[in-house]
Structure 1
C-alpha cells in the first residue's frame, strides 16, 4: 500500500451501511484506520466480531454497547476498547456520531 499522509474530509465518501448507519473512512495505512460512524436513533449495530483491535470514541449521542458479556451506556467523551475477536454490538439511544480506530485497517471498509 502506498503511504498517504493527508485525507481531506471533502474527498471522503459516505457509505450507507443500511438500517440508519453511515460510515466515512478517514486516514488509514496498513496498521491503522479511523472511521467516522453516524447513527440514527434506534439503529442497531448487530453483535459481531473481527480480528481487529478497535477503540471507539463517542463524539455525540448516547449508545448502549455490549462487549463480551458486559453492557455500557455511553455518551460524548466516553471511549470503549474491543480486543480482537470479542463479540460486540450497539444500540443507538440518541442519534450521534462515533469515531472508530482499527488496527490493522479494515480491508472490508475500503
Structure 2
C-alpha cells in the first residue's frame, strides 16, 4: 500500500485503508473501488491523499547493494536498536531510517 495524492488518484483504484476527512469522519472504507464521484467528494472534504492497495509496496524499496553481506546488515540493525529504543520501530518511516542507518554502518563503518 502507498499514499497517493488526490490529484493522482484514478477511478478503479482500490483503497488499502479507510479515507477520513480533516475532522476524522470516515468518508470511504478500505477495499472500496474508487469512482469519479468518490474523487470529487475527497476534494470537497479536503482529503489530500489516500492509501491505495498495490502502490508503494515494500518490494519497491531499493534493493540491497551486491557488496553488502546480508548477515552484516542484520548485525548492524541489531547494533542500532538501542539508538531507536524510544521510537515506534514498526512505523514505516522509522523502519526505513533504521534500514538506511544499518546500510550506512555496513558500507562506511559509521552511522
Relative to total residues, which structure has the larger helix share, 1 or 2? 2
Q: Larger Cα Rg: Structure 1 or Structure 2?
A: 2
Where on the TM-score scale, by shorter chain, does this alignment land: which range?
under 0.3
- Higher RCO, 1 or 2 (CA under 8 Å, sep at least 6)? 1
Q: TM-score, normalised by structure 2?
A: 0.27
Relative to total residues, which structure has the larger strand share, 1 or 2? 1
